[in-house]
Amino acid sequence: MPVILPVKGVSPQIPDDCFVAPNATIVGDVIMGSECSVWFNAVVRGDVNSIQMGNKVNIQDGACIHCTYEKTRVVIGDNVSIGHNAIVHGCTVQDNVLIGMGAIVMDNVQIGANSIIAAGAVVLEGTIVPPGSIFAGVPAKKVKDISPELLKGEVERIANNYVMYSSWFK
């Protein structure tokens, strides 16, 4: 059974059409949209501030979503994929974003819609990622604009696939 716990009297809000893996952890002030999924060994900690997710968000295996006490919360838009072992901390992620495997997104980052954060990238505190951008490296910098083919072929495809994958476990 997943660990789903209230913190200071506030329980996570998880719609029935979401998938939460048996060893995932979701605690505190977490609001999930429809068709979301939280995968194996992922942690979504809304204990020190709030975490709000749109629809069709997938938090892949080993990823960690957290905030900073009394300073930053996490807001995630629709159709967002957060890759295996990524860390998303105290930031805003707009719609149609792919955060690659092992990426780190720090406090007060703003990731614009239709963007990709490459695998292993480290997006430093306060970075603004313009809509339609691909950021990569350590520290992460813009490497190019996203093409319509990449947006449809990767960002949208992955978000939709994770809705399908989660159906296999229900």
Predicted confidence (pLDDT) at residue 55 exceeds the cutoff of 90: yes
pLDDT band with cut points at 50, 70 and 90 for residue 170: confident
Predicted confidence (pLDDT) at residue 102 exceeds the cutoff of 90: yes
91 contacts: CB under 8 Å, gap ≥ 6 = 72, 74, 105, 106, 107, 108, 109, 110, 111, 123
Q: Is pTM beyond 0.85 here?
A: yes
For β-strands 81-82 and 64-66, DSSP reports them as: unpaired
The fold adopted by the segment(s) 3-167 is UDP N-Acetylglucosamine Acyltransferase; domain 1 (2.160.10)
Q: What is the mean pLDDT of residues 55-62?
A: 98
pLDDT tens for residues 19-43?
A: 999 999 999 999 999 999 999 999 9
- Tell me what the pLDDT averaged over the chain comes to: 97
Domain residue limits, the chain: 3-167
Quote the tokens at residue 66: 């957290």
CB-based contact 132:145 (threshold 8 Å): yes
